[in-house]
Structure 1
Amino acid sequence: MTDDVTARLALPLLSAGQAQKELTHNEALALLDLFAQPVVVAMAIDTPPATPVPGQCWIVGDAPSGLWAGRTRHLAGWTAGGWRFCIPRTGMRVWNLADGCEAVFDGEGWSVGVVRGSRVEIDGVRVVAAQQSAIAAPVNGDVVDAEARAAIAAILAALQTHGLIAG
């Protein structure tokens, strides 16, 4: 096979005049099948499973052993031809079956279930906004009704700002 590979997934490239091009092509398809829109069985696993099924993937842990040695935090996928590995890139996302959450690689490690964004909309309506300032709790006992009304008004304003109730 050729030593020329693609930049992101390290897919093998065909070279001019290469014999048995189907081997390189099939290897590239096997890697795409595993690592494009990947789904992993579990994360932070250091020991390869004893009886993997072709198509299954895992995220290797911080202290890999055996056939996974030296593949810290890589994606490891099993094929009929054995283990295939993918070096994670910043922004790579996987669906983690063990947690039922998405995991994202940030360039140093994987985070599970963290949702990042600037806004959340449901049916085109913003339902969560940036965190608002704290609401002071009512204190003292002289003017309880006025303090309680002010706190309730602040709570309602925050809920409206976040789109959780209509304004």
Structure 2
Amino acid sequence: MTDRTARLALPLLHSSQAQKEMTHNEALTCIDLLLHGGIEGVGEDTPPATAQPGQCWIVGDAPVGAWAGSARHIAGMTAGGWRFVAPREGMALWWAGGETTVVFRGAQWRIGELHARRLMVEGTAVVGAQRPAIPGANGGNVRDVEARATLDTVLTALRDHGLIGR
């Protein structure tokens, strides 16, 4: 039998355990740090000097001081000091300073990446999978320089945004 939950490694109570409130309170502290989690910074290696209970950071790759040994973990300040939670695949947190989400995928934190099959606005798909490349204007009996320049600009924008292949 394990003494931690499978996904978030939260401490479990055991029958006949003394001081069960300590284990239970530790689990609640970790849940409080992660549920609808918001972070103050990403990739920080040095703990902030003035952290307040409830504030969290994503620890960088070379942490020092109180964060040493907790690379890429979520560090949360509590009334009892720092608590660390190991990230799990798919874990997402809100980074207010960057106004974006930070997602743990492929053993690393990814800032501001959004992965989807399509983008829907009010029930209508506005962006889907990338389409094949479209060649620029070429040939024809009548040459319209302005129209070709406009088409080239549109095609360049579509390629730059990844909507069509290059």
Quick check: TM above 0.5? yes
- Please state how far the C-alpha of 1:47 moved relative to its aligned partner: 0.4
Letter matched to residue 101 of structure 1: T
The whole-number CA distance in structure 1 between the counterparts of 2:103 and 2:143 is: 48
Match of 1:44 in 2: 43
Q: Deviations over 1:6-43 (max 9, x none)?
A: 11211111111111111111111111000222111010
Higher strand share: 2
Match of 1:126 in 2: 125
Matched, 1:81 2:67: no
- Please state how far the C-alpha of 1:140 moved relative to its aligned partner: 6.0
The whole-number CA distance in structure 2 between the counterparts of 1:35 and 1:9 is: 9
Contact 1:59 1:76 in 2 (8 A): yes
Matches within 5 A, 1:147-158: 148=147
The whole-number CA distance in structure 2 between the counterparts of 1:38 and 1:57 is: 8
| Structure 2 gaps, min length 5 | 159-166
- Please state how far the C-alpha of 1:56 moved relative to its aligned partner: 0.3
Runs of 4+ in structure 1 over 6 Å off: none
SS at match of 2:43: coil
Match of 1:34 in 2: 33
Match of 1:102 in 2: 101
Match of 1:114 in 2: 113
- The TM-score, its normalising length taken from structure 2, stands at 0.82
- How many aligned positions are there? 152
| Structure 1 gaps, min length 5 | 160-167
- The TM-score, its normalising length taken from structure 1, stands at 0.82
The whole-number CA distance in structure 1 between the counterparts of 2:109 and 2:118 is: 23
